[in-house]
Amino acid sequence: MAASDTIGVGFVGAGDISILHARAVQRCPGAKLVGLWNRSQDRAAQRAKEFGCKNYESPEALVRDPAVQAVFVLTNLETHLEYTKLALNAGKHVLVEKPVGVSVAEIEEMRRLAEAKKLVCMPGHNYIYEAGMNRSKELIDAGDLGRLVSCYAMYNIHHPEEVAKRYPGVVRQILTHNSYILLYLLGKPKRLCAMKACLHYREYTEEDIAMVQLEMENGALAHLCASFAADDHAADPWTVMVKVIGTGGSTRYSYRDHVEIKPGLVHSQTYTAYAGSIMNEVRHFLDGCVRRGEAPLSTMADAVTAQKMIEACERSIRDGSVVTL
């Protein structure tokens, strides 16, 4: 597409996360949110008014519109495959929220279809679209951290039960983030073991905390934590914290570098990096991948590996075993 063309965007799904995506498209030069479709009409009409865009009567009508070149799939996990296929088959590029699919097979199907259609299909792996993460990766790739020793990717953000109930447990909902971060920075794991618990919900039975230990192919060890159970209020909190330690140096990325004292969607405070990472991701997708043909920083092949890690965690939890990938 020509550098001067405006990229028209359509949203399938207009839940909470669409608010951050709408802001991101608005701030992306050369892009415009054309319209959205949402299953419930009340929500669709309200969000279309807020975002100043069309409200399509069906997802088919949205993907048929020649004014739309890129579709964001922002619905619940179980429907990602259906809407991603619909958009790709209509010739549209796709950004699909994480977790990308419910199984490795689903993600493979999306990847193959996008390849066959020569379209971009990019996983919504937003956390790595941050300058601090990218600098860590550059240092690692250049060998400036020496021999990599360990990586910690920690997430401790309290989610009330009524919010958590809209999602799967934290293994799928959050460890997916930790997994693609680890893949981006350190590469693939060799084996892992995981544990989970449910500590603060009254009725919802999915886990609100999970932890994973991993041995990486490069010999380093890693630790991942995903918790909706409690915020970390102590000094230098591990709200979202990613650390890489090597024999030649180490790096840190933290959500606590920028905090606004107002609720941020479902978070008790606004962690600027959350919305910021989605802005960077959307810009990379639209301006980098769709317009200029650049590759995503995390690909559908990475989404497949991340899903294999999630399924290995589930097996480890179920059997109390160490799982080789």
Ligand X SMILES: NC(=O)c1ccc[n+]([C@@H]2O[C@H](COP(=O)([O-])OP(=O)(O)OC[C@H]3O[C@@H](n4cnc5c(N)ncnc54)[C@H](O)[C@@H]3O)[C@@H](O)[C@H]2O)c1
Sign of the alpha-carbon torsion through 307, 310, 316, 322: positive
Q: Which residue is closest to ligand X by CB?
A: 15
Residue nearer to ligand X on the CB measure, 39 or 191 = 39
Asked whether the beta carbons of 271 and 264 are under 8 A apart, the reply is yes
Q: CA-CA distance, 92 to 110, in Å (whole number)?
A: 13
Q: How many CB atoms lie within 10 A of CB 41?
A: 10
Q: CA-CA distance, 286 to 292, in Å (whole number)?
A: 9
Q: How far is the CB of 144 from ligand X (least distance, A)?
A: 29
Q: How far is the CB of 76 from ligand X (least distance, A)?
A: 4
Residue nearer to ligand X on the CB measure, 148 or 175 = 175
Residue nearer to ligand X on the CB measure, 93 or 193 = 93
Burial of 48 from C-beta contacts in 10 A (0-12 / 13-18 / 19+): buried
Q: CA-CA distance, 264 to 277, in Å (whole number)?
A: 14
Residue nearer to ligand X on the CB measure, 8 or 59 = 59
Q: How far is the CB of 282 from ligand X (least distance, A)?
A: 11
Determine phi and psi for 262, rounding to 5 degrees: -160, 150
Q: How far is the CB of 74 from ligand X (least distance, A)?
A: 5
Q: CA-CA distance, 120 to 100, in Å (whole number)?
A: 14
Residue nearer to ligand X on the CB measure, 7 or 74 = 74
Applying CB under 6 A, the residues found at the interface with ligand X are: 13-17, 38-40, 74-77, 79, 97-98, 124, 126, 166, 173
Asked whether the beta carbons of 13 and 75 are under 8 A apart, the reply is yes
Asked whether the beta carbons of 195 and 205 are under 8 A apart, the reply is no
Residue nearer to ligand X on the CB measure, 42 or 203 = 42
Instruction: Report the chain's terminal Cα–Cα distance, integer Å.
Output: 40
| Residue 192 identity (one-letter amino acid) | L
Q: How far is the CB of 75 from ligand X (least distance, A)?
A: 4
Q: How far is the CB of 251 from ligand X (least distance, A)?
A: 21
Q: How far is the CB of 15 from ligand X (least distance, A)?
A: 2
Q: CA-CA distance, 175 to 310, in Å (whole number)?
A: 7
Q: How far is the CB of 105 from ligand X (least distance, A)?
A: 18
Residue nearer to ligand X on the CB measure, 16 or 60 = 16
Residue nearer to ligand X on the CB measure, 8 or 13 = 13
> Which DSSP string corresponds to 250-275?
EEEEEGGGSEESS-BTTBSSEEHHHH
